[in-house]
Amino acid sequence: MKTGELTNEVLDFWVAKAMEVDARMSDIYPNGTRHMVTYYSRDEETGFLDGRSFCPSSHVSDGGALVISEHINMAFQHGQWWSDIASRNEKYPGRFGYTHVDYLVAAMRALVASRFGPEVPDNVIPPARHSRARS
């Protein structure tokens, strides 16, 4: 799959992999959607497992911090956002840039490409189970 075509939860999943976040893709809901990436952490005091959604391609609280910490250059030109980041993958040296009407989508595509290159494997995302919850 081309990095420049990643969207929604699939893009979020690849950003989680790039940032080495222990994230899991949601199950498929009865309406057929699969819309969330969740990462988990264990509370050291209580031992409880706490889950939190991870949506860097749509939530500024997740993706905005990555734009800053990963030094992703951003510019708005001709009605689209342009992103640019230096590669961290020796196999694909140089810089990666993507455009999109959404700021975070452009930035997160560039981030994924900087780690994994212009294409990512299709078979890495685990198959989903169907949720029993009613919509």
Q: For residue 72, what pLDDT is reported?
A: 97
Looking at residue 77, what DSSP letter applies?
E
Q: For residue 54, what pLDDT is reported?
A: 82
- Rounded distance, CA 114 to CA 107, Å? 11
Name the nearest CA neighbour of 51 among 21, 81, 73, 74: 21
Name the nearest CA neighbour of 25 among 101, 133, 129: 129
**Average pLDDT for runs of 10 along the chain of length 135:** 92 91 67 60 69 84 94 96 93 93 97 95 69 48
Residue-range domain boundaries for the chain: 3-27+37-123
- Rounded distance, CA 48 to CA 34, Å? 25
Q: For residue 134, what pLDDT is reported?
A: 47
Q: For residue 107, what pLDDT is reported?
A: 98
pTM over the 0.85 mark? no
